[in-house]
Amino acid sequence: MKEYVVFLDRATLIADLRFPEFDHTWVEHPEIPPEETAEALRRASIAITNKVPITRVVIESCHKLKLIAVAATGVNNVDLDACREHGIAVCNIRGYAEHAVPEHVFMLLLALRRNLLAWRTSLRQGAWGQAAQFCLFDHEIHDLAGSTLGLIGYGNVGEGVARLARAFAMEVLIAEHKGATTIRPGHTAFDEVLARADQISLHVPLTDATRDLIGAREFGLMKKNAVLINTARGGVVNEASLLSALKTRRIAGAGFDVLSTEPPREGNPLLDLDLPNFLLTPHVAWSSREAMQGLGDQLIDNIEAFVRGEARNRVV
């Protein structure tokens, strides 16, 4: 049987894609607007999406759809309940960013702990040329070695961050689920991680359970010298609480690669936050060329496995 494959947002993946090794028609769009998704998938048996939402309304109007292949790890843009009800399989990508995201985490950590932005500003203002001695002591610098990193979420990426942290001679704490009554071996209670960690890095999907996982209460538990890194999803952190924590120096800094709404077409207060202790990158931690090529290869592997009848990387 010939499959009809539609890639809804091909422009989000900069990778060379080989065509699947089965009889098929391949259609790709740079990026389909949400209101045109149903029409784009009208003939599709296999849909590929990175970030384009596939809602219940879309699913219920696309009667030929058999598989949604998500070109990412997170699947919060797909109505999984509707897929289950209609017998549509969903698969995702796993492990492709095991180096890319941890390296981005440490780029942010090092820049914040070594006060990179503040030093760059001082140099631009001519402070070094006016110094009385060979160096400046205007901004604090802290080592990562000997400090404690708290990990919230310990999947493939979290493990990668832990490996780098141990190479930097850091202590690593792996947080138990928030509110858990029992602590698994090798884990530390959620609140204890917040209280003990000098750096906290988030690696959880966005679900009902993780939305606003970090808010005013959690910032109140953190050390005043703590740094928060979020390369997961924007909604995991309450952005108003983050703004307050940074402006009042409740924490020492934060490095984010995500926002609650992406792209931020209506703006976002974090975009306007001009502080040396806050770094924001535009959801690119995952997007090294090496990682994207690995993602693309795995995407096609997932689709081919489905057509062969194999449940590879299956979410639904």
DSSP state of 17: P
Fold agreement between 3-94+290-308 and 100-280:
yes
Instruction: Give the residue-averaged pLDDT of 231-249.
Output: 97
Answer yes or no: 262 catalytic. yes
Q: Count the neighbouring beta carbons within 10 Å of the beta carbon of residue 122.
A: 17
Q: What is the pLDDT of residue 100?
A: 97
Q: Model confidence over 20-32: pLDDT tens digits?
A: 999 999 999 999 9
- Report CA torsion sign: 37, 40, 43, 46: negative
CATH number of 3-94+290-308: 3.40.50.720
Q: φ, ψ for residue 136 (rounded to 5)?
A: -110, 150
Where do the H-state alpha helices sit in 69-189? 80-86, 100-113, 116-124, 156-167
Catalytic position from the list 94, 211, 283, 314: 283
Query: Of 185, 179, 84, which is closest to residue 68 (Cα–Cα)?
Result: 84
Cβ density class 79-110: b for 16+ within 10 Å, e for less: beebbeebebbbbbbbbbbbbbbbbbbbbbbe
Contact between residue 26 and residue 5 where contact means Cβ atoms under 8 Å apart = yes
Q: Model confidence over 98-152: pLDDT tens digits?
A: 999 999 999 999 999 999 999 999 999 999 999 989 999 999 999 999 999 999 9
Contact between residue 180 and residue 150 where contact means Cβ atoms under 8 Å apart = no
Answer yes or no: 233 catalytic. yes
Instruction: Give the residue-averaged pLDDT of 246-266.
Output: 96
Domain ranges, ordered by start, for the chain: 3-94+290-308, 100-280
Does residue 257 have a pLDDT over 90? yes
Contact between residue 41 and residue 47 where contact means Cβ atoms under 8 Å apart = yes
Domain 100-280 listed as CATH 3.40.50.720:
yes
Answer yes or no: 98 catalytic. no
What distances in angstroms separate CA 275 from CA 113, 278, 313, one per listed residue?
14, 6, 41
Does residue 60 have a pLDDT over 90? yes
Q: What is the pLDDT of residue 1?
A: 84
Kindly report the CA angle at 106 between 104 and 109, in degrees rounded to 5?
115
Catalytic position from the list 36, 262, 290, 310: 262
Give every strand in the sheet of 24-28, ordered side by side: 24-28, 3-7, 46-49, 67-70, 89-91
pTM given for the model: 0.88
% of the chain with per-residue pLDDT over 70: 100
Q: What is the pLDDT of residue 74?
A: 85
User: What does the alpha-carbon distance between residue 212 and residue 191 come to, in Å, rounded to a whole number?
Assistant: 15
